[in-house]
């Protein structure tokens, strides 16, 4: 019975994750091909599907939930994700919130997403501003495959272009909004097994101090920002002073925004 299977799975998952009950429910709903809400309201007394055991074993081996289910909700959209693409995090929604605050009643017409991954920030921004168009750049063909598929599924393929690229290299047009969630983990920092062993290292690590990619991105921003525009970059919570100092060196005015946990998470540059 599903009810008992969830209890047992929650106990097994407790050493692996802080959200063991939620993880068990997500895996069960995925095994049934239904929503968590339907699972809890209608199916707790049903037989346990065979696929649940397979999914549970993958989670017990520290595989991320998003890679098992193939989806992750972000802002107002749901994205397809998988190996080779960084999994969207709730903290990254702070970038969209900061951009909305900056533009207020205005709307950016042209948006750039550097290191777009599965299209996370660009597609969330295009959903927020339906008249905008955008360009997503990534160095990973695997990630771009997810991004293009997500744009198609969300009905945004005519508004979102995705290109293989190396940060800002080759870009010349002005953008009203530039979004980026670059790698910012120091190469010697410790990460949970599900991140370290499964997500792409190229999307996580950026030199000994985690700042290598900011040093490459920031010098190019002044030439790419349209008048009245803003660049919004995610940072590690200890990096606000260092990234702000780099921004000032390149003539950019930084403003720090905190995530839901109250930690510095975003630098907005004008």
The reported pLDDT for the residue numbered 181 is: 98
Percent of the chain with pLDDT over 70: 100
Residues of the chain with CATH 3.40.50.150: 75-269
Q: What is the pTM of this model?
A: 0.94
Q: What is the pLDDT of residues 178-203, one digit of tens each?
A: 999 999 999 989 999 899 999 999 99
Task: Calculate the average pLDDT of the chain.
Answer: 96
- Does the pLDDT at position 107 exceed 90? yes
How far CA 144 is from CA of 46, 63, 85, 119, 184, in Å, comes to 39, 21, 8, 7, 20
Q: What angle do CA 179, 182, 183 make, to 5 degrees?
A: 165
Percent of the chain with pLDDT over 90: 97
Q: CATH top-level class for 2-61?
A: mainly alpha
75-269 topology per CATH: Rossmann fold (3.40.50)
Residues of the chain with CATH 1.10.8: 2-61
The reported pLDDT for the residue numbered 188 is: 85
Query: What are the residue ranges of helices labelled H in 62-111?
Result: 65-69, 93-103
Average pLDDT over residues 106-114: 97
The reported pLDDT for the residue numbered 119 is: 98
Q: What is the pLDDT of residues 215-262, one digit of tens each?
A: 999 999 999 999 999 999 999 999 999 999 999 999 999 999 999 999
């Amino acid at each position: 019975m599903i009810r008992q299977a969830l209890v047992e799975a929650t106990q097994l998952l407790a050493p692996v994750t802080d959200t063991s009950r939620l993880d068990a429910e997500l895996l069960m709903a995925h095994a049934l091909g239904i929503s968590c809400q339907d699972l809890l309201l209608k199916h707790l007394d049903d037989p346990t599907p065979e696929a649940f055991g397979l999914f549970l074993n993958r989670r017990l081996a520290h595989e991320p939930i998003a890679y098992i289910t193939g989806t992750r909700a972000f802002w107002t959209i749901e994205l397809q994700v998988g190996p080779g693409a960084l999994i969207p995090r709730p903290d990254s929604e702070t970038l969209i919130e900061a951009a909305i605050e900056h533009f207020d009643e205005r709307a950016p017409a042209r948006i750039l997403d550097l290191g777009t991954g599965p299209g996370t920030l660009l597609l969330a921004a295009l959903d927020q501003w339906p008249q905008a168009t955008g360009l997503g750049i990534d160095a990973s063909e695997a990630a771009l495959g997810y991004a293009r598929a997500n744009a198609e599924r969300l009905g945004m393929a005519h508004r979102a272009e995705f290109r293989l690229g190396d940060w800002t290299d080759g870009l010349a047009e002005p953008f009203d909004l530039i979004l980026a969630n670059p790698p910012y983990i120091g190469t010697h920092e410790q990460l949970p097994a599900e991140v370290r062993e499964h997500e792409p290292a190229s999307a996580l690590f950026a030199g000994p101090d985690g700042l290598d990619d900011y040093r490459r991105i920031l010098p190019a921003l002044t030439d790419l920002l349209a008048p009245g525009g803003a660049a919004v970059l995610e940072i590690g919570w200890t990096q606000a002073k260092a990234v702000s100092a780099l921004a000032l060196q390149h003539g950019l005015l930084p403003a720090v925004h905190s995530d839901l946990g109250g930690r510095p998470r975003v630098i907005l540059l004008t």
